[in-house]
Structure 1
Amino acid sequence: MHDVAKAAGVSQAAVSYAYNRPHKLSEARRAHILAVAEKLGYAGPNPAGRSLRTGQVGALGLMITDSLPYAFDDPATTELLKGISEVGELAEVALTLLPCPLESARVAEGAGVLVRGAVDGFLVYSIPEGHPAIDTVLSRRLPLVFIDTPNPDGLPRVGIRDRKAAREVADHLLSHGYRQVGILVDRLVPDGRGGTVDAARVKAARDHVMRERMAGYAAACRKHKVPWRSVRVVEAGGFDYERACAAAEQLLAAEPVEAIIAASDLMALAAIDVAHKHGLRVPDDVAVVGFDDIPAAKAAGLTTVRQPLVDKGRLAARLLLDIIDGKPGREIILPTELVVRGTCGAAH
């Protein structure tokens, strides 16, 4: 920068402005500086040097439990990512996706991407209880914000009241008189297992969101005097459409059900597709409700719970940037709304 400033006949600060604060220079002055820099072979300030000066690297880390494709395949996660990307300050801040699969030996050892990743803070998204990644990021003592993740220590968090919202949608369904009920849940324990769930597995659930939603469904069943032991629960074992369809097939192939409570819209939409494949009409033969209100839910006429997924991402990113700037953290609980459409009719 010193050499460029001398050759261009400007101050070293002006060279810095040309790269970092172009609005402080006229277009002609900035163009002159950049032309001289190019002639001298100077490509701009060294990122490592800037990091040493500011103490920041200009990147946020988004932790996810699954592999990278999950972040782009799961509709709810893509909506969250959209909200994160809408934060204006992120125009000059990198977002680093940090996959933390439970089966990763390096994550379990407190090594790997969470230690090597050069970030200023972490967005901890839907990480199961007991995941070693939590201890690893806490040990780095960097700012963090939990999203849909248990937070016993009262750290900054953004989420919704999953149990309350799940109870509301199940209450609406059961108020129509349905008694033969099945539940489709994405994942209770991150061990890759799917299939019919017993009471012990529900109790051992480590996914905070799914555990809370299951508790809400159970509360609605108690209210409407539907014996919980009569409710068949099938776990997909993951968050992709193929596993959701397999779980729906297993549920519908067993004893007949009048209604399906799906713990996510992806599961609900898969259940509708499988029902149609079997010649069942929705809601005449089987009613279906979901959770999230992803864009595809409206097109399918799905009765569901609307949660502000985009707002959740936006607020979490904004909160983390504020904490990095030295402002205090807090917990943000967003509202939900029951959205009644056509997949939940009167009992026949």
Structure 2
Amino acid sequence: MKRTVSMKDVALAAGVSQPAVSYAYNKPSEISEAQREHILKVAKKLGYPGPNVRGGSLRSGRVGAIGLMISDELPYAFIDPSTTGLLRGIGEIGELSNVALALFPLQKDLVNQSGEPGSVSLAVRGFVDGLIAYNLPDDYSVVAMARKQNIPFVVVDAPIIEGTPFVGIDDFGSGEIQMKHLLDLGHSKIGIIADRLKPDGLRGPVTQKRFQQCTENVVRARLEGYLSAGKAAGLSFDDMVIIEAGGFDHAAGDWAAEQMLANKDLTAVAATSDVMALSFLKIANERGVSVPDQLSVIGFDDIPEAAGAGLTTIRQPLIEKGRHAARLLTELLNAPPSKKPPATRIILPTELVVRSTTKARWKKRS
């Protein structure tokens, strides 16, 4: 019978102590990156499967799982390109290779509510050791519950919480660049498609009152960027046609595109995501509207499908967001109770990527 390789075997073969082997898997910050790579290489060669997760969990009181809270229903995590990019980045962090990842979809009954005991999210019921909150509404009560219970968590994009590790981009500044690109091309009759301003099921034309009620930080910041750039060019809120799609998927984008195309005076459209922009391109093509000859279109994210469609967009590092969030959460989980890491705030760069869906203003649609 083949003998199981132990941590001691790895330590002897690598010429290090057993604690060093343990650190390589559980506390990588305690040893150098070179030493960690050496240990993991030796472990792989010997066929060592890693520390006993259950045993470690029993000793440490940990579950051996982390959670990702997302801004929509569960299928969204598997079809939304931004979320899948984030998941890929999280999965690339070796420290989490032996840790389970649980997905927690948005519970709309817990938005702006304290949450009754029977409906409290599993995310704060002890099912995970730590959480990554991804693009959640400002008033999502599960986040407040997690803070109250001292569950380690990191925020990606939203909500912005004082004293909480954060990974994101400058959505306001990027929105300004996105709108300024259209303005610099001579466009002044501009439509805007926004994914969702609030998870209440509403969709349609956005009034100033609706905009002020927005609880989605990312969409709000990008819209504020659009309005700021528009104001500098002499355009007011009422000079722009803003349509709320009411969701993040292509079905919501298709509906919003139909509403937008009813405005015949527009010469350009900006979307708060590539999903919305790509839906608009599809519907415009079906309706015989030429892009960019009759309408220029710009998106946001630079998801993989954007390049194939020739979409002008704002590129953001989706995978890198996941990597940074996972590293920050790992630091929180590995830190001793008496030495809490500082609330790091990481703002990643964005870039305007000009392709074939935007051009200088030419003519209005007939």
TM class, shorter-length: 0.7 to 0.9
Is the contact between residue 178 and residue 258 of structure 1 (CA under 8 Å) also seen in structure 2? yes
Displaced runs of 4 or more, over 6 A? none
**Of 284, 287, 298, which aligns to 1:278?**
287
**Of 152, 157, 179, which aligns to 1:143?**
152
Amino acid at match of 1:287: S
Deviation digits for residues 91-132 of structure 1, max 9, x if unmatched?
A: 111111112322259983262412334211110111101111
Seen in structure 2, the aligned counterparts of structure 1 residues 275 and 142 have a Cα distance that, compared at 3 Å, is same
Measured after TM superposition, the shift of residue 220 of structure 1 is 1.0
The correspondence of residues 104-253 of structure 1 with structure 2, limited to 5 A, is: 108-109=115-116, 111-253=120-262
Aligned to 1:225, what secondary structure does the other structure show? coil
2:74 is aligned with 1:65: no
Seen in structure 2, the aligned counterparts of structure 1 residues 45 and 109 have a Cα distance that, compared at 3 Å, is same
1:262 and 1:63 map into 2 onto residues whose CA distance is 24
Deviation digits for residues 66-99 of structure 1, max 9, x if unmatched?
A: 2110111111111111111111112111111112
1:167 and 1:153 map into 2 onto residues whose CA distance is 25
TM-score after normalising by structure 2: 0.82
2:84 and 2:126 map into 1 onto residues whose CA distance is 22
Amino acid at match of 2:346: I
Measured after TM superposition, the shift of residue 46 of structure 1 is 8.1
**Of 14, 18, 23, which aligns to 2:10?**
23
Is the contact between residue 65 and residue 102 of structure 1 (CA under 8 Å) also seen in structure 2? no
Amino acid at match of 2:148: S
Name the residue aligned to 1:301.
310
Which range moved further: 309-318 or 218-227? Answer: 218-227
Aligned to 1:92, what secondary structure does the other structure show? coil
Aligned to 2:357, what secondary structure does the other structure show? coil
Measured after TM superposition, the shift of residue 22 of structure 1 is 6.8
Aligned to 1:243, what secondary structure does the other structure show? helix
1:57 and 1:152 map into 2 onto residues whose CA distance is 26
**Of 340, 345, 348, which aligns to 2:359?**
345
Whichever of the two has the greater Rg, that structure is 1
Name the residue aligned to 1:320.
329
Amino acid at match of 2:347: I
Seen in structure 2, the aligned counterparts of structure 1 residues 285 and 201 have a Cα distance that, compared at 3 Å, is same
Name the residue aligned to 2:36.
none
Seen in structure 2, the aligned counterparts of structure 1 residues 74 and 21 have a Cα distance that, compared at 3 Å, is farther
1:46 and 1:62 map into 2 onto residues whose CA distance is 20
2:8 and 2:173 map into 1 onto residues whose CA distance is 48
Which range moved further: 136-145 or 321-330? Answer: 321-330
Name the residue aligned to 1:76.
82
Is the contact between residue 100 and residue 133 of structure 1 (CA under 8 Å) also seen in structure 2? no
TM-score after normalising by structure 1: 0.86
1:76 and 1:64 map into 2 onto residues whose CA distance is 11
Structure 2 residues without counterparts, runs of 5 or longer: 14-42, 336-340
Query: Alignment identity in percent?
Result: 43
Is the contact between residue 259 and residue 287 of structure 1 (CA under 8 Å) also seen in structure 2? yes
**Of 317, 320, 345, which aligns to 1:331?**
345
Is the contact between residue 230 and residue 236 of structure 2 (CA under 8 Å) also seen in structure 1? yes
Which range moved further: 258-267 or 220-229? Answer: 220-229
Is the contact between residue 311 and residue 356 of structure 2 (CA under 8 Å) also seen in structure 1? yes
Is the contact between residue 107 and residue 114 of structure 1 (CA under 8 Å) also seen in structure 2? no
Amino acid at match of 1:84: I
1:195 and 1:265 map into 2 onto residues whose CA distance is 19
Aligned residue pairs, count: 321
Structure 1 residues without counterparts, runs of 5 or longer: 1-7, 9-13, 35-43
**Of 263, 271, 279, which aligns to 2:272?**
263
2:187 and 2:8 map into 1 onto residues whose CA distance is 63
Measured after TM superposition, the shift of residue 153 of structure 1 is 1.5
